[in-house]
Structure 1
Amino acid sequence: MIDLTADDGTIETGRVEVSPGVELHYERRGGGPDLVLVNDFLMESSSWRPFTSRLQNECRLLSYDQRGQGESSRADAVWADHVADLATLLDALGVREAFLLGTSSAALLCRDFALAHPKRTRGLILAGPALSPFGGRRHRRIVTSWIRTLDGQGLPALFDQLYPLVSGDYGAEVAGTTGFLGRKQAFLALHTPETIRAGMAASLMADHDPVLLAGVRCPVLVVAGDDDFILGVAAAERLAELIPRGRAVIFPRTGHLPFVEQPHRFQEEVAAFVAEVVKGGRDGD
């Protein structure tokens, strides 16, 4: 069942039941090719709004809270649930095929959706992907250390650990103390220890085997900062090489979240990628 409501006349919001007793909250805005904004475990659907205002003039944007996030149902999930939920959400909204934009660990979800539903995936944009061309051991250890911090010291301490990692040096200096404190306040207002822990635990279930990338047949744009603590420049370029139709764009003076630190250029790159793929049609699939 879809329950549509109006939000200031420009955003369509609603809830979709994706399995018995589990509903996902979504919002949709703009017009053009469908582009799904896929959260990692540190975001929710509304988090995209400040960084996608131009994109809604080029694409019909769909963002949603995964089960356990934001305004969606509180429900336990394994990794496969998130992939299945996205397919069910698109079915309910009448979206036959779409571009997917995923950040950090959500890049893995986008990859897995493209593998499971190749005919429904027009293209992928992987922004600061937590996806190594060499394997996932390091990433799993990083996430495990975050869970230990969360369990032992709480959500404020976890943010203190995360912030200097995901922010590039330049971005952290520009934001200053005011930016740090503002983002911390927003982070603590959005999340609970339970929701963050559940999201991190689910991400540990994802398969990081680089061999899987060869099975992604749609065009893929990898956007990475040259100061990304997870994925360096050489690794980002190698990651794109492992994808048959992949290419990488490196943002200078940028950390793990290029859409946050360089939103204008990021939206330009995404809009150009979508337009290029649409113009090229389905050749090569």
Structure 2
Amino acid sequence: MVVQLYARDVGEGTPLVLLHAFPLSSAMWLAQREGLGGRFRVITPDLRGFGGSMLGEQEPSVDVMADDVAHLLRRKGIDRAVIGGLSMGGYVAMALCRRHPDLVLGLILANTKASADTEQGRRNRLRQAERLEREGTSRVLVEEVLPLLVGPTTMRQRALVYGRVRGLVQAAPAAAAAWAQRAMAARPDSFETLRGVHAPALVITGTEDELSPQADARAMVEALPNAELQVIPRTGHLSAVEQPDLFNQIVAEFVAALARTPR
């Protein structure tokens, strides 16, 4: 059973759906709603359990999260949209391509990867999920996830950005974060899915992203039939939050070109 997602919906024009990173919420897309909402219809859902969306009782799965997004778009009467996802949101975007390809007008994959977790990565996620459930707080996320979310330049020069990210991590509901960690640990390799994506795609990465480095971005570009790569300097894993102006410029050019292309 799908969960009815809470979503912020601003602007008019080509629908642009932005799916948030773990363990944040659609609040991370504030600069995108403000910077892109004047040109496009920007829809930023809270994935299940985060922000204003209920968690539900289904088994953890990125496919379930993708079905939630598809249900949201159909409820809004949107036949096709540019689907963008950052980090965990990218995993959900790829699952959407696999399960609901008819909805995808264009694809934006930011600071994410198509490979499944390594065994060590999977074990780490499950360990964190167990601690989240046991402690009932986001402490493990602040200790272990937060330091990897932003790059060294942000840590040194963008104290307000780091403080905002820390606040979003601290606000993550423990039950939702545990569920999402289990969902990501179980996600499949998505390279075959990407090879079947015929919509134009944009892959974005940051020069200081340790969680999804440039090699992962290039591998996705190679798998996608019609993709371009953009590398944002001096940014870590949260490119849309760390360098919002550059991120918005890249995304706006991509979506505007799509809007001009006959469908």
**TM-score, normalized by length of structure 1?**
0.82
Instruction: Give the letter for the 1:83 counterpart.
Output: A
Aligned counterpart in structure 2 of residue 167 of structure 1, from 144, 150, 166: 150
Which gives a bigger RCO, structure 1 or 2 (Cα 8 Å, sep 6+)? 2
Is 1:156 matched with 2:156? no
Q: Which runs of 5+ in 2 are unaligned?
A: none
User: 1-side partners of 2:190 and 2:236: how far apart?
Assistant: 24
User: 1-side partners of 2:102 and 2:89: how far apart?
Assistant: 20
State the structure with more CA Rg: 1
- Per-residue displacement from partner, 1:146-196 (whole Å, max 9, x unpaired)? 4355457752242132222121111111134x65455433432x2221121
Whether the aligned pair in 1 keeps the contact of 2:207 and 2:235 (CA below 8 Å) is: yes
Q: How big is the shift at 1:75?
A: 0.8
Q: 1:73 matched to which residue of 2?
A: 54
Aligned pairs (5 A) from 1:234-249: 234-249=215-230
Whether the aligned pair in 2 keeps the contact of 1:67 and 1:76 (CA below 8 Å) is: no
State the identity %: 27
Aligned residues: 259
Whether the aligned pair in 1 keeps the contact of 2:112 and 2:216 (CA below 8 Å) is: no
- Per-residue displacement from partner, 1:109-157 (whole Å, max 9, x unpaired)? 111212322232111111101434xx53164345335435545775224
Is 1:120 matched with 2:103? yes
User: 2-side partners of 1:130 and 1:143: how far apart?
Assistant: 16
Whether the aligned pair in 2 keeps the contact of 1:105 and 1:130 (CA below 8 Å) is: no
Aligned counterpart in structure 2 of residue 203 of structure 1, from 175, 184, 199: 184
**TM-score, normalized by length of structure 2?**
0.88
Q: 1:13 matched to which residue of 2?
A: none
Aligned counterpart in structure 1 of residue 72 of structure 2, from 89, 95, 106: 89
Moved more, 116-125 or 29-38: 116-125
Q: Is the alpha carbon distance of 1:46 and 1:184 closer, same or farther for their aligned partners in structure 2, counting shifts above 3 Å?
A: closer
Moved more, 152-161 or 218-227: 152-161
Q: Which runs of 5+ in 1 are unaligned?
A: 1-17
Q: 2:169 matched to which residue of 1?
A: 187
Instruction: Give the letter for the 2:169 counterpart.
Output: F
Instruction: Give the letter for the 1:216 counterpart.
Output: V
Point out the structure with the larger strand share: 1
User: 1-side partners of 2:17 and 2:206: how far apart?
Assistant: 22
Q: How big is the shift at 1:251?
A: 1.1
Q: How big is the shift at 1:108?
A: 1.6
Q: 2:26 matched to which residue of 1?
A: 45
Whether the aligned pair in 2 keeps the contact of 1:164 and 1:172 (CA below 8 Å) is: no
Aligned counterpart in structure 2 of residue 104 of structure 1, from 62, 66, 87: 87
